[in-house]
Chain A
Amino acid sequence: MKDSVQRIVIVGGGSAGWLSAGVIAAEHRIDPQAERPFEVLLIESPDVPTIGVGEGTWPSMRSTLQRIGLAETDFLRECDASFKQGTFFRNWLTGDGDTYCHPFTIPVDFAETNIAPHWLALADAPPYADAVTPQSALFADCLAPKQITTPEYAFVVNYGYHLDAGKFAELLRKHCTGKLGVNHVKANVSQVNAADNGDIRSVTTDRAGEIEGDLFIDCTGTKCLLLGEHFQVPFQSQQGYLFNDTALAVQVPYADADQPIQSCTHSTAQPSGWIWDIGLPTRRGTGHVYSSAHISDDEAAGQLLAYIRDVAGDDAAADAAPRKIRFEPGYRQEFWHRNCVAIGMSSGFIEPLEASALVMIELAAGMIADQLPATREVMDIVARRYNRKFLRHWSQIIEFLKLHYVLSARADSPYWQENHSAASIPDKLREQLAVWRYRSPWHQDAEAVDDLFPVPSYQYILYGMGFRTAARPTRSHQQDQRQRRAAELFRKNAERAAQLQQALPGNRELLDKVREFGFQKL
């Protein structure tokens, strides 16, 4: 085949590089015996440490790992991973200790019933998540989403992971090179060489010579060596919508080795940002992400240490030495240009609220693996489609994250006040909120079937944060049946929650068992 795409060159390791390599090589088997073998080659700098951003995943990671061919038991053991069932928000609404949950399980009977209006009509309504899914009832006691008898990657309630990003990249590297035939080159790229038609022909490295390729994947992080530096694709800042641009990250030890491991990411709002807290089996990972325009680094560090003192004690706070990460929130104007596509932080980065970094890598790698252009001739078509899809994903991230700030009633600092300014709210979000004042979001509110944040997520944030949708002035002919059905669903959900609280083990107990016995494959 003329101009066939045979050789994929990934520049940069880390979660982005190795996940991309794994997904592509798993889909396109590398057969060295073939006359013109398909190749995946990853160039990793031996001198640049990975940034290790993204320690929370979505449930999608289960299918991604399965697709790559990793056993869940190996993944859990080697990446110090734990189960993540959603996010627990504190102090986002008023700052007076208010809480709500965004669980991964969608509301009961969501396909058939929009339960939100029925919940809104309840006199003594329990919190939205508690009323419509059994999952949030597991969070207080740090319960696991499955049992040791549940097969690998299967669940009782939906889950993703918390993981050690450094160890994750290491496991992926081992798997990609050992099992999937990915070629690993340890070298620094010193130069990008253009072909006559304007594509990238090759990259020159300091210790592995010149490396040619048909498709180049830029996983060089914020440096964005190929798409940014070489092709000069502009970066579009989104700081006007989402102010956070700095993170202080620190690992915190458990007070004792048997301390329960949280079932979800904890997100606690602060005067000028918020603090994340995720539980791994061996440690917690915490950090303060904030807007440098609204608070000094020292003050932000003070708030982080106060939080650590609160949850982990004085000693943990005294030993904490946070690492500062600066970032500009935003993304590239396009992600696939000519024969180069950026994945990971090179394509864009927004604060870790709702943990979208890893899932965006999975989606990008998945689309490239599925739609891999057979020839250079069709690559531009695939690139256009890819750019449309990912622009939609990025703008939805902006809108959905901003929703958390817009719904807040906090006005205790300029940060929260400015978050309510009209100019800082994307038009689409403003329109959605206007419509949802009179009608609860449901299936028709999805823009596409593959929306990054599905409608249930909007419901959890809206009704978790006290948003009110007015009762419809008209009644359906099926109103009575629907009301009976909803009452039945609320009752069954409460029953199921009580049942699961009895049946499910604690996260630590289950992870200990995984360490000892492992999950069965069936």
Chain B
Amino acid sequence: MSQYETLNTEQHGHLRIRTGYGKALGDGIMYVMTYPMEFRDIQNCYPILFAKDPNTGGFYAAALLGFEPDQNLFLKDDGWDANYVPTLVQRQPFLIGTGGEGDDRPPVVSVDLDHPRVSQDEGEALFNDDGEPSEFLNQKIALLDQLHRGLQHGAGFIDALLQHELLEQITLDLAFNDGSKQALEGLYCIAEERLYQLRGDVLESLNQAGYLQPVFMAVASLSRTRDLIERRNRLRP
């Protein structure tokens, strides 16, 4: 379970954050949420697919990291084996949201006290002795700020995809070198045939919203599935 508190010097002045990557740090995950502004970096390493939130049925974009629950094929003994780590992983154990009321609500940073990265005595300090945010925290805040802008920009992305019927169901039929087979279901991808039939005005509106490039990035990203299969083959030859 998660236990989020709004980050402040009084309560959290003593907290430290464990860095690096590993199963014990909560990184043993099969997929992680992503957003259109990040697709260009994500597609270089991971397949981008769409899944449904089991609580709402709503779609979200996700970078695929493995083929089984808790399987992250990018985790190695010495860290995360990819040249880009998704923002939603990097941001742990923090969360950014909007607090208070009114139109001009400032973003608020929270910390998950139950997250395995949170420690009393190990890792990077959040605050200096004078109570000011540490360099480490400032970097995280910059990252969260970027995430916040990314989420705001991507808020209409799924609706736009649905409006133009650009999502379709996909079953990943996987065959591994050890002879085992697997069908990964419940996933969706960009409907390419529909995409190539879009009219000029629709393409223009998608482009103006900043959604056209991410759509093509998501299409391209599916080639990354081969790399994941290779990783899985090396795991169990």
Cα of A467 to Cα of B222 in the assembled complex, Å: 57
Cα of A520 to Cα of B53 in the assembled complex, Å: 11
Give a binary string over A86-109; 1 marks a CB under 8 Å from any B CB, 0 the rest: 000000000000000000000000
Instruction: Classify the secondary structure of A's interface with B.
Output: loop
Cα of A99 to Cα of B28 in the assembled complex, Å: 49
Asked if A517 and B188 make an inter-chain contact with CB atoms under 8 angstroms apart, the answer reads no
Closest A residue to B57 by CB, please name it. Answer: A148
Interface presence of A460 (CB below 8 A): no
CB distance from B49 to the nearest CB of A (A): 14
Residues of B within 8 A of A147 (CB): 54, 57
Contacts A521-B162, A522-B167 given; indicate if A513 touches B56 (C-beta within 8 A).
yes
Asked if A519 and B57 make an inter-chain contact with CB atoms under 8 angstroms apart, the answer reads yes
CB distance from A510 to the nearest CB of B (A): 10
Contacts A522-B168, A522-B169 given; indicate if A149 touches B162 (C-beta within 8 A).
no
CB distance from A306 to the nearest CB of B (A): 42
Cα of A148 to Cα of B56 in the assembled complex, Å: 6
Residues of A within 8 A of B168 (CB): 522
Residues of A113-152 contacting chain B, CB below 8 A: 147-150
Interface presence of B216 (CB below 8 A): no
CB distance from B209 to the nearest CB of A (A): 21
Residues of A within 8 A of B53 (CB): 149
Cα of A149 to Cα of B59 in the assembled complex, Å: 9
Interface presence of B197 (CB below 8 A): no
CB distance from B166 to the nearest CB of A (A): 11
Residues of B81-131 contacting chain A, CB below 8 A: none
Asked if B55 and A520 make an inter-chain contact with CB atoms under 8 angstroms apart, the answer reads no
**Of the candidates A149, A516, A519, A521, which one forms a contact with B186 in the assembled complex, judged by CB atoms under 8 Å apart?**
A149
Cα of A151 to Cα of B80 in the assembled complex, Å: 36
Cα of A149 to Cα of B56 in the assembled complex, Å: 7
Asked if A520 and B169 make an inter-chain contact with CB atoms under 8 angstroms apart, the answer reads no
Asked if B58 and A517 make an inter-chain contact with CB atoms under 8 angstroms apart, the answer reads yes
Give a binary string over B146-189; 1 marks a CB under 8 Å from any A CB, 0 the rest: 00000000000000001000011100000000000000001010
Cα of A520 to Cα of B168 in the assembled complex, Å: 12
Cα of A522 to Cα of B168 in the assembled complex, Å: 7
Asked if A517 and B57 make an inter-chain contact with CB atoms under 8 angstroms apart, the answer reads yes
CB distance from A304 to the nearest CB of B (A): 39
Cα of A518 to Cα of B162 in the assembled complex, Å: 14
Q: Most chain-B Cβ atoms within 10 A of its Cβ — which of A147, A149, A519, A521?
A: A149
Cα of A519 to Cα of B53 in the assembled complex, Å: 12
**Of the candidates B54, B162, B167, B169, which one forms a contact with A148 in the assembled complex, judged by CB atoms under 8 Å apart?**
B54
CB distance from A149 to the nearest CB of B (A): 4
CB distance from A154 to the nearest CB of B (A): 11
Residues of A within 8 A of B58 (CB): 517, 520
Cα of A513 to Cα of B186 in the assembled complex, Å: 19
CB distance from A249 to the nearest CB of B (A): 35
Interface residue total, chain B, C-beta cutoff 8 A: 14
Asked if B57 and A513 make an inter-chain contact with CB atoms under 8 angstroms apart, the answer reads yes
Residues of A within 8 A of B167 (CB): 522
**Of the candidates A149, A513, A516, A518, which one forms a contact with B52 in the assembled complex, judged by CB atoms under 8 Å apart?**
A149
Closest B residue to A520 by CB, please name it. Answer: B57
Asked if B55 and A148 make an inter-chain contact with CB atoms under 8 angstroms apart, the answer reads yes
Cα of A521 to Cα of B163 in the assembled complex, Å: 11
CB distance from B4 to the nearest CB of A (A): 22
Residues of A285-305 contacting chain B, CB below 8 A: none
Asked if A149 and B188 make an inter-chain contact with CB atoms under 8 angstroms apart, the answer reads no
Residues of B within 8 A of A149 (CB): 52-54, 57, 186
Residues of A within 8 A of B56 (CB): 148, 513, 516-517
Residues of B within 8 A of A513 (CB): 55-57
Residues of A within 8 A of B55 (CB): 148, 513
Cα of A520 to Cα of B58 in the assembled complex, Å: 7
Residues of B within 8 A of A516 (CB): 56
CB distance from A107 to the nearest CB of B (A): 25
Closest A residue to B167 by CB, please name it. Answer: A522
CB distance from B192 to the nearest CB of A (A): 15
Closest A residue to B158 by CB, please name it. Answer: A520
CB distance from B222 to the nearest CB of A (A): 18
CB distance from B59 to the nearest CB of A (A): 7
Residues of B within 8 A of A148 (CB): 54-57
Residues of A479-522 contacting chain B, CB below 8 A: 513, 516-522
Closest B residue to A519 by CB, please name it. Answer: B57
Residues of B40-65 contacting chain A, CB below 8 A: 52-59
Residues of A within 8 A of B54 (CB): 147-149
CB distance from A155 to the nearest CB of B (A): 14
Closest A residue to B54 by CB, please name it. Answer: A149
Closest A residue to B191 by CB, please name it. Answer: A522
Cα of A150 to Cα of B185 in the assembled complex, Å: 12
Cα of A65 to Cα of B59 in the assembled complex, Å: 24
CB distance from B137 to the nearest CB of A (A): 35
Cα of A148 to Cα of B169 in the assembled complex, Å: 16
Residues of A within 8 A of B52 (CB): 149, 520
Cα of A112 to Cα of B230 in the assembled complex, Å: 41
Cα of A520 to Cα of B50 in the assembled complex, Å: 13
Residues of A145-189 contacting chain B, CB below 8 A: 147-150
Closest B residue to A148 by CB, please name it. Answer: B57
Asked if B186 and A522 make an inter-chain contact with CB atoms under 8 angstroms apart, the answer reads no
CB distance from B92 to the nearest CB of A (A): 25
Cα of A519 to Cα of B58 in the assembled complex, Å: 8
Residues of A359-415 contacting chain B, CB below 8 A: none
Cα of A522 to Cα of B54 in the assembled complex, Å: 14
Cα of A150 to Cα of B10 in the assembled complex, Å: 46
Cα of A520 to Cα of B186 in the assembled complex, Å: 13
Cα of A153 to Cα of B58 in the assembled complex, Å: 16
Residues of B183-237 contacting chain A, CB below 8 A: 186, 188
CB distance from B53 to the nearest CB of A (A): 8
CB distance from B56 to the nearest CB of A (A): 4
- Extra 6 A-B pairs, beta carbons < 8 Å, given A149-B54, A513-B55: A147-B57, A149-B52, A513-B57, A516-B56, A522-B168, A522-B169
Name 23 interchain pairs, CB-CB below 8 A, sorted by A: A147-B54, A148-B54, A148-B55, A148-B56, A148-B57, A149-B52, A149-B53, A149-B54, A149-B57, A150-B57, A513-B55, A513-B56, A517-B56, A517-B57, A517-B58, A518-B57, A520-B57, A520-B58, A520-B59, A520-B162, A522-B167, A522-B169, A522-B188
Closest 4 pairs between A and B when the two form their complex, measured CB to CB: A148-B57, A149-B52, A517-B56, A149-B57
